[in-house]
Amino acid sequence: MVMRNVHEAPDQSLQANAKPTPPAKRKLLPTPPNEGRKKQRQELPEPETPEGSQTSDIDNVIAMADSDTSLIGMSTPRNDLEKLAEKNRRLKNQVISLQASVKEKNNKLRQMKRKVINEVTKLRQHVHHQPNDQESMEDVSEESENETVEENDHEDTTDPHYEMEDDGGHGDSELDESDDESELLTMEKDNLRTEPKHIVFLSQLLLLFSFCHSCKTDNPLIETREVGTKAVVTTICSNPKCPKKITTWHSQPMMPGTKISAGNFLLCMAVLLAGSSISKARQVFLHMGLGCVSLNTYFRYQRTMLFPTIYLHWRKYQNMLIETARNIKGGVVLAGDGRHDSMGHSAKFCAYTMFCCTLGKIIHFDLVQRNQAGSSPAMEFMSFKSCMDYLIKKGLAITTFISDRHTSVAKYMRSVLSKITHYFDIWHLKKTYVQEIYLTYLMAGKKELKDAAIKLKEMSPAPMDSVFNKQAKAEALKKRADRSEMVVKDVPPTTPVSEVLAQASKTKKNTIVRYCKTCKNPMKGHKKVKECPRNQKS
């Protein structure tokens, strides 16, 4: 198809061959809408445009191409312009991302150069201690500064249309000061516990979602939710042609094989293994504005996952230690001591720990509650006896035992375990178990954790509080009926009646009767004696 300029004059040959018709006999023939528009455009006078301005011609050509029905299904200049604009925008986004990556690489290079310079200065000062070395290091530092200046000059000469905006407004000097304390982050192992984690502000996080990551459309609809320590960001793109209109981003991965956020679980595990309090840790988080798990979540994770994991790890660890101690020739030396939850004679719990001095590790422990032993002082001896019986049943050859000066323990060692040498001494503990417990949780299955939780519940003693000792209604009614039917019998005293009477007469004789000094009447009931002058005065 050949396009013709609308400003060109009509063909002279066509005008010469056309026969004019009288005005009275002219007939109006139906013409297509496009033909009528073309004739109207041909009859319009040529617009006067200034020299060097062709915008009106371009607009007329585009309008003719859009109004022509024969061009349906074919590419028009307007579509071509839209495609070019879209391509230009995508290229601009790519250039921006490349510039950001280049800037990040330059910062890393500067950090590495500073580290190399510092290491070289330390080595030269340590080996030579000469001024020539300092001069050479100054030359090296000057060269590195010149290189950084050249890099900054190169960055300043970039196209201003594709430059990244500095939201913080900080200069390079502040970045250089912070780089001295910063360290490069690496992902050496695929371990969620040791993976670096950082505090991110919501305002800085939302900068990453200022455009759609699928089609690069600006300003999508953003919805942010908080799940404990995790942030969930959902973006809804406004572009109808976006391949992925709704995108959900999670700030934390899930624990392997579960739907539990890694940060929430690791925080609960860290609080428990550090011996801290979840209420104090949660208060610290709230004061700073950090997201934190709730108390219900912490205790649920503790009850269903953390305690069973620790129990499974302890059983595996203990069996390995007992097997190692069993193979030692000549027996092993043990040391034990108990620790109560509070001072004095009103303690509720006692934890007795057995330490293998031959291996240098804790080999067994036992926890006893006061209602199991009958009293607080008896808890330590009961837990000691339980530990010794358990280790002897495991076939452990014990040659020497070391404890504190507990009298019941010393007597039991003299009378029952007389073949074991008993000493009095103190001992210390060492704890390194965090990584092993974490690996035990990853390797344990759901069934093992559930069985361990059930076993721990069975091992726990009954609660001491009488409020928790619930009684069935039928049993309570039966006890009440039995009490009402109970016959009270007159039980004679064990002391003979003659002795009781003799004792009563003696007590009566020994009592002193007081008399009034004025009227000489007994003081018992003296207020009723009206003849006494003392009562008359009142």
- Do 334 and 264 belong together in one domain? no
> Does residue 265 sit in the same domain as residue 230?
no
Q: Which pair of tokens denotes residue 506?
A: 């003696």
What's the rounded Cα separation, in Å, for the pair 396 and 383? 18
Q: Alpha-carbon distance 295 to 302, whole Å?
A: 10
Task: Give every residue of the chain whose pLDDT is below 70, as ranges.
Answer: 1-75, 126-182, 188, 425-433, 463-469, 492-493, 508-510, 537-538
Tell me: do 265 and 239 sit in the same domain: no
| Domain presence at residue 183 | no
Same domain, yes or no: 387 and 414: yes
Is the full-model pTM beyond 0.85? no
Residue 68 lies in a domain: no
Half-sphere exposure of 462 (CA within 13 A, CB side): 10
Number of folded domains that form the chain: 3
205 with 269, same domain: the answer is no
Q: Does 231 share its domain with 265? A: no
Domain that holds residue 410: 328-424
296-318 residue pLDDT tens? 999 999 999 999 999 999 999 99
Q: Which amino acid is at 171?
A: G
Domain end call among 266, 284, 314 = 314
**Does the residue 18 lie in any domain?**
no
Kindly provide the b/e burial profile for residues 15-45, where b requires at least 16 CB atoms within 10 angstroms of the residue's own CB. Answer: eeeeeeeeeeeeeeeeeeeeeeebeeeeeee
Q: Give the pLDDT score at 6.
A: 43
From CA 176, how far away is CA 107, in angstroms rounded?
A: 9
pLDDT (0 to 100) of residue 59 = 57
DSSP 161: G
For residues 240 and 262, state if they share a domain.
no
Q: Which of 213, 253, 252, 207 is nearest to 236 (CA)?
A: 213
| Distances in whole angstroms, Cα of residue 38 to Cα of each of 43, 78, 227, 238 | 9, 20, 66, 40
| pLDDT digits 0-9 by tens, 148-166 | 444 444 444 444 444 444 4
Residue 343 is part of a domain; what is its CATH number? 3.30.420.10
Residue ending a domain, among 361, 389, 424, is: 424
Q: For the segment 21-80, what is each residue's pLDDT rounded down to a tens digit? A: 555 444 444 555 455 454 445 554 444 444 444 445 555 655 555 555 455 555 677 778
Identify the pLDDT of residue 267: 95
Per-residue model confidence (pLDDT) at position 469? 66
Is residue 505 a contact partner of residue 511, using CB atoms and an 8 Å limit? no
Domain for residue 507, yes or no? no
Question: Does 127 fall in a domain?
Answer: no
Q: Are residues 396 and 334 in the same domain?
A: yes
| Residue 409 included in any domain | yes
> Is-contact 336 384, C-beta < 8 A?
yes
Number of H helices, E strands in the chain: 19, 8
For residues 295 and 281, give the distance between their C-alpha atoms in angstroms, rounded to a whole number: 11
User: Which of 264, 301, 307 is closest to 285 using CA atoms?
Assistant: 264
Torsion of CA 35, 37, 43, 48, to 10 degrees: -140
Cα–Cα distance for residue pair 318/366, rounded to 1 Å: 13
Tokens of 179: 């780089």
- 219/234 same-domain check: yes
Q: Are residues 242 and 281 part of one domain?
A: no
pLDDT, position 334: 93
Question: How far is the C-alpha of 42 from the C-alpha of 4, rounded, in Å?
Answer: 11
Per DSSP, the residues of 289-321 read T-----HHHHHHHIIIIIHHHHHHHHHHHHHHH
User: Are residues 342 and 297 located together in one domain of the fold?
Assistant: no
Partners of residue 353 on adjacent β-strands:
337, 365
Q: Please give the pLDDT value at position 170.
A: 45
Of 206, 223, 251, the one marking the end of a domain is 251
Residue 223: its pLDDT value, please?
A: 93
pLDDT of residue 413: 92
Asked whether residue 389 is domain-assigned, the answer is: yes
Q: What is the pLDDT of residue 112?
A: 86
- 389 close to 481: Cβ distance less than 8 angstroms: no
Same domain, 338 and 360: yes
Kindly state whether residue 95 falls inside one of the protein's structural domains. Answer: no
